[in-house]
Amino acid sequence: MSYTLDKRVEGEFDEVVEQTTAALSEEGFGVLSDIDVQQTLTEKLDVEFRQYRILGACNPPLAQQALEDELRVGALLPCNVIVYETDDGDIGVSAVDPEVMLSVVDNPELDAVATDVRERFERVLDALPDA
């Protein structure tokens, strides 16, 4: 079972990060964290790694609803969206599949939130230019 929603995207890496952030915003998500994995691994381990960014996306109303339904769900927040260079040099964008992620929580009240977030992430990916 795949745990991400994936798309190969046309464009330069930094441009795709900006487009992804803008598409997330259109769906009500802010980016709470932006981790540059390539830079971190270079600084901390002195190793080379592909371009790879982790965007911690949060939609406050949906997060509040999920937290009210299941207080400890905060351990799974924010929802991560990654922009990365593939093995063949293309740019990929993947979002965690919230339906899969929240399936580990035995609380059916979260199903509606998971479905809503998944539909929004699908629209985010659809808004990005196809490779």
| Residue 34: per-residue pLDDT | 98
- Say whether pLDDT at 1 is over 80: no
Token pair, residue 22, equals 């803008």
Q: Where are the domains of the chain?
A: 4-125
In angstroms, rounded to a whole number, what is the distance separating the alpha carbons of residues 101 and 12?
29
pTM: predicted TM-score of the whole model, two decimal places: 0.94
Place of tokens 């990060």: 17
Instruction: Convert the pLDDT of each residue in 87-99 to its tens digit.
Output: 999 999 999 999 9
CATH of span 4-125: 3.30.310.70
pLDDT category of residue 131 using cuts at 50, 70 and 90:
confident
| CA dihedral over 14, 16, 17, 21, signed as positive or negative | positive
H, E, C per residue of 2-59: CCEEEEEECCCHHHHHHHHHHHHHHCCCEEEEEEEHHHHHHHHHCCCCCCEEEEEEEC
